Structure 1
């Protein structure tokens, strides 16, 4: 058991036990979260700076994470990242918030 416990985290045994998520390190997860937060920030900036007559842009989709799928069976981002994007917000509500 000691030998199995100390096998490399990206080895074949870990991939067999944990599936595709064994291929992602903590750095990969942090980088995906950073990209998601930057995309949400850019989306909010775009929503605030569009005119009232312009159509509100669609919120960004999170970076797909291993082992997480949406209701259509396609891979999607982490639940916490999806909550960060939240529901579509009007540009006037964002403008009031950022005043």
Structure 2
């Protein structure tokens, strides 16, 4: 397909718009417009969320069933597209606004690195799940 056909009036604007609209997910235009997010489908996001939730559940179970001094490290969420700015903020190299995108459920629960000081203790978790 020659895009000069549009200029030569051999290709209608409507046909050109349809061709652009239905470009594949991994096309250069979609990657330029959406960055890494173009590589992730809904299935990929759901799978990452399932992995994060399973890791959080395993961490809670291990926290409740371990001694007070032998607590496991909280799980690190699966990196998602657009989280690069958040990773840079954790290293002290980001722009400092902290708005790298919506927080995942495990981050909201305080299970990411640099956990929330208000995170539940193992005793609170045991009381909750008992």
| 3-state SS of paired residue (2:104) | helix
Say which one has the larger Rg. Answer: 2
Equivalent in 69, 74, 95 of residue 59 of structure 1: 74
User: Which residue number corresponds to residue 6 of structure 1?
Assistant: 22
1:46 and 1:77 mapped to 2: Cα distance? 29
Gapped runs of 5+ residues in structure 2? 1-16, 95-99
State whether residues 36 and 81 of structure 2, in contact with CA within 8 Å, keep that contact through their aligned partners in structure 1.
yes
User: Which residue number corresponds to residue 14 of structure 2?
Assistant: none
Aligned residue pairs: how many? 97
TM-score by length of 1: 0.83
Quote the RMSD (CA, aligned, Å): 2.2
Gapped runs of 5+ residues in structure 1? none
- Answering whether residue 54 of structure 2 is matched by residue 38 of structure 1, we say yes
| 3-state SS of paired residue (1:40) | helix
TM-score by length of 2: 0.65
2:110 and 2:78 mapped to 1: Cα distance? 12
Indicate the structure whose relative CO is greater, using CA pairs within 8 Å and at least 6 residues apart.
1
Q: Which runs of 4+ in 1 moved over 4 A?
A: none
Residue correspondence of structure 1 range 1-99 to structure 2 within 5 A: 1-52=17-68, 54-68=69-83, 69-70=85-86, 71-72=89-90, 79-81=103-105, 82-85=107-110, 87=116, 88-99=119-130
- Deviation at 1:80? 2.8
2:101 and 2:43 mapped to 1: Cα distance? 16
| 3-state SS of paired residue (2:67) | coil
